[in-house]
Amino acid sequence: MTLAYLVTEDKSDVDILNKLLPERYLTNTQLVVGGGKYSAQSLAGTILAVKSMPVALVIDADTDDESAIQEKSELVHQLLYQASPGIPFKVFTAVPELEAVFCYQQSVLERILNTSINELTWQVARQHPKAFLTKNLGQEPLFIERILSSLDDEMIQLLQQHPLIQELTEFLDSVVCSEVFA
């Protein structure tokens, strides 16, 4: 039974979240590909207005400029607020993009790459995760598939500590698990 929707920009984002989110959230949450940033925002608003179901919208910031990120998040929040008749929703902005979760912990990134990296390389990976992973693992969606298939339980648990994944699970906990146990 669907109790909430999680809307993302593209299929690779759904694949990443499907792998990293705990099963208890996935059972009652429908992950939906928005087909681009603006289409995802529009779809999230439509779900709120028409289906009256809680929505988590995950979008890429495409920048690390804090003021630009805050401005963009507030704008999207206002747009969704207008569509939401009191239904819970939250906008999650991946900085600079969702692939950053793979670069969150140096030890996990080294296991993904199957080689050790120095501090400078790790910093570059954190600033430009998609470009870094593409350069080292191949084009998307190939590198996403390679990463996801290589993750073991320990690596998944470490990646689940990423702040965006933590915030997302807290939101889903409040809208999905509270409904299941109500």
Whether residue 133 is contained in a domain is answered as no
Torsion of CA 6, 157, 177, 23, to 10 degrees: 70
* Cβ neighbours, 10 Å, residue 154: 11
Q: Percentage helix, strand, coil, to 5, in the chain?
A: 60, 10, 25
Instruction: Record the pTM.
Output: 0.93
Q: What is the domain count for the chain?
A: 1
Q: pLDDT for 124-175, tens place per residue?
A: 999 999 999 999 998 888 899 999 999 999 999 999 999 999 999 999 999 9
Whether residue 27 is contained in a domain is answered as yes
- Whether the CA torsion 156, 138, 13, 73 is positive or negative: it is positive
Residue 41 belongs to domain with CATH number? 3.40.50
Q: pLDDT for 90-132, tens place per residue?
A: 999 999 999 999 999 999 999 999 999 999 999 999 999 999 9
Backbone angles phi, psi at 94, to 5 degrees: -80, 125
Whether residue 113 is contained in a domain is answered as no
Whether residue 127 is contained in a domain is answered as no
